[in-house]
Chains A and B, each alone.
Chain A
Amino acid sequence: MNKALHNAPLFFIDSDIKESTVKPAPMHALKDKPKKSQSIDGLFREHWFDVCRLLQKSYGSGPPEPEDVAQEAFSRFYQINNAEKIHDPKAYIIKIAINITLKSIGHLCKTREFITEQLQADEAQVDTFCPERILQSEQRIALIQKGTEQLSDKQREILMRARIKGQTYAQISADTGWSLTDICRQLNTAMSILEKIDEESGRDNKKSHKNNTDKSFTNALPDE
């Protein structure tokens, strides 16, 4: 710090500035990027059109516009550090795109904001698409996945319309002809099945954690 500072109004929040913290990010940290961009080139060529088409057919022309959503999804995928661990990149990109699209649906935004506020968590904590979190939660996702396969066609249809398509129950009712009461009942049953599976897997993991405390527990999403 120079001498002039002694005469200037001084206002320091953290005066302990380590030398290393003010250096620009080293280039070697980006060494693997070209290789990475080569692989994403291929993903782009292979899946861009499919992702856009899927978004258009499922959610319409926007806003948000499918191309914009797809671009954001590919962008986020590109930024994942350990993308090579993802077995099905296309499905992963679609999942990101779904998440982005749902964030723009009015009633879901309000719900998300409200719940986030109540859980006293920030948006990032309730954002399911933290890539590291997803990779950590593979087992949980696999179990919920299995659970959805146990649902009846009707239960799955309603659950997915609400959760993935972001439809209100009135919209689901209008599309399918099912009553609001029936929709709520089916949704409740579907969720109770999935919650039970999730709960049991949590119990099993606690047991195995007790038995083997050295093993890291990576099954659950971090507390929100």
Chain B
Amino acid sequence: MIDKHNKPQVNYTNQETEKTSSVKSTKVQAREWLIYFNSGQTTKEQRDNFVLWFNENDANKKAFKQSYKVWQTIGITDSAVEWLQQYANQNSVTLPTKKSKNTFAKSTLWLTGIAASVLFIVVNNTFKATNTLGVTAPEIVFTSPVGENRSITLSDGTSVTLAGNSSISVNINQHERHILLHKGSAYFDVIHDSERVFSVSAQQTEVRVRGTAFEVKHSTDNELKISVKRGLVDVADLPEQGNKDENIVQLHPNEQLRTNKNGAFINEVTHFNPETEFAWLNARLIYDNVPLENVILDINRYIKKPVIVLDESINKLPITASFTFDQIEPVLTGLVAAYSINLTEQDNRIVLTKN
């Protein structure tokens, strides 16, 4: 087991003194390692010892995996729930005064897609009765993790797909349906409702529809890109000064518009290829002569270690490619082979520079 120095008594260098039952001995060792790792006091030396033991033979590996599976399974038994409920009743943790929180920033760590209807019901019905505990109402914020898309169905039936590392907040009530795109990209397939306009705002731009399918995306240089798949979409700039009229442009299917961070329309309405533009909905990225910086912006939604371009001269390098989210790493390796680019993998990021 674990001795007074918190080291497991596992003799991995001379393990088989108990020749009568080597299998049992391996299992015992595996168990001791598992128990050691959960002690809360492990050392690098012992971890290194474990690696040696673990890789010594397949029997060790198998024994440890089995032990670990049992350990994991304990966490999903009803016994675990019963014990926790019992523990909670007997040992209430002293609760500090509820601190105010930056709802969006904190929520993004934990909130993921859940039907807005659910949230509204909670907000409107449940929490009125629960304020004595200090439990605050959840924000209606939906986020997607880095690495994958997330699909959500809102309470009005509208389908939303968030690209990786994206975030929206939702406000749907009797009178309006409003979405705020905080970051990333979102595709909306809006259920028609003649009584309530469906609007999406980001930066100083607002997109208004009644029933249609479109994408709103944060792009490079603080630009916003609106791409329409189906139906009609009104794009409006939101003037910061109240006395200024807003400009509105109507987009048709396969039309696209870019706006800057102030809401101003950057260029004329352009056409796009929907198969390329919306490929991300099917876990694929397709580019036809697209600047490297745009490709990197998308890639960074789907890999844990962000890619940084440190050499501006390669930012505009035209890329034509098609790959799935799973193929991003080979793509980066291929970039180095195909172009004069250096790739340096650091602890927390991947850096691209000109060769």
Q: How far is the CB of A132 from chain B (nearest CB, A)?
A: 13
Question: Are the CB atoms of A61 and B80 closer together than 8 Å?
Answer: no
CA distance A37 to B27 in the complex (A): 46
Question: Are the CB atoms of A5 and B115 closer together than 8 Å?
Answer: no
Question: Are the CB atoms of B112 and A223 closer together than 8 Å?
Answer: no
Is B117 part of the binding interface, using a Cβ–Cβ cutoff of 8 Å?
A: yes
Contacts of B354 in A (CB 8 A): none
- Chain B 46-88, CB within 8 Å of chain A: the 1/0 string? 0100110010000000000111111111111111110111011
Assuming the contacts A22-B275, A91-B78, A160-B80, asked whether A126 and B39 have C-beta atoms less than 8 A apart, the reply is: no
Question: Are the CB atoms of A156 and B83 closer together than 8 Å?
Answer: yes
CA distance A54 to B74 in the complex (A): 19
Question: Are the CB atoms of B40 and A107 closer together than 8 Å?
Answer: yes
Question: Are the CB atoms of B70 and A118 closer together than 8 Å?
Answer: no
CA distance A145 to B82 in the complex (A): 11
| Segment among B91-99, B168-176, B218-226 that sits at the interface with chain A | B91-99
Total A-B pairs, Cβ < 8 A: 313
Is B300 part of the binding interface, using a Cβ–Cβ cutoff of 8 Å?
A: no
- Chain B 310-338, CB within 8 Å of chain A: the 1/0 string? 00000001111111100100110011001
Is A85 part of the binding interface, using a Cβ–Cβ cutoff of 8 Å?
A: no
CA distance A59 to B4 in the complex (A): 28
Q: How far is the CB of A187 from chain B (nearest CB, A)?
A: 5
A-B contact list, 26 entries, CB within 8 Å = A4-B288, A8-B289, A9-B338, A9-B339, A12-B320, A17-B286, A17-B322, A27-B189, A37-B153, A40-B115, A53-B133, A60-B95, A64-B109, A68-B107, A68-B109, A72-B112, A75-B111, A107-B40, A145-B78, A145-B79, A159-B74, A163-B38, A180-B4, A188-B35, A191-B71, A194-B74
Question: Are the CB atoms of A128 and B111 closer together than 8 Å?
Answer: no
What size tier do the contact residues of chain B reach? 35 or more
Chain B: CB-nearest residue to A87: B78
Question: Are the CB atoms of B39 and A14 closer together than 8 Å?
Answer: no
Assuming the contacts A25-B161, A156-B83, A170-B40, asked whether A37 and B110 have C-beta atoms less than 8 A apart, the reply is: no
What size tier do the contact residues of chain A reach? 35 or more
Q: How far is the CB of B337 from chain A (nearest CB, A)?
A: 9
CA distance A172 to B74 in the complex (A): 18
Assuming the contacts A11-B338, A14-B327, A74-B118, asked whether A164 and B35 have C-beta atoms less than 8 A apart, the reply is: no
Question: Are the CB atoms of A56 and B153 closer together than 8 Å?
Answer: no
Is B122 part of the binding interface, using a Cβ–Cβ cutoff of 8 Å?
A: yes
Question: Are the CB atoms of A168 and B40 closer together than 8 Å?
Answer: yes
Contacts of A68 in B (CB 8 A): 106-107, 109-111, 138
Is B247 part of the binding interface, using a Cβ–Cβ cutoff of 8 Å?
A: no
Q: A25-B282, A128-B72, A191-B34 are in contact. List 15 more A-B contacts (CB 8 A).
A: A11-B338, A24-B281, A40-B114, A41-B115, A54-B85, A60-B93, A64-B110, A66-B135, A68-B110, A95-B81, A167-B40, A187-B35, A191-B31, A192-B31, A224-B69
Assuming the contacts A13-B322, A40-B118, asked whether A141 and B161 have C-beta atoms less than 8 A apart, the reply is: no
Assuming the contacts A12-B321, A17-B322, A163-B74, asked whether A188 and B31 have C-beta atoms less than 8 A apart, the reply is: yes
Chain A: CB-nearest residue to B156: A34
Question: Are the CB atoms of A75 and B93 closer together than 8 Å?
Answer: no
- Chain A 52-82, CB within 8 Å of chain B: the 1/0 string? 1110111111001111110110111011000
Is B178 part of the binding interface, using a Cβ–Cβ cutoff of 8 Å?
A: no
| 9 closest Cβ pairs, A-B complex | A168-B40, A68-B110, A57-B88, A75-B114, A13-B323, A37-B115, A33-B153, A148-B79, A22-B275
Question: Are the CB atoms of A94 and B81 closer together than 8 Å?
Answer: yes
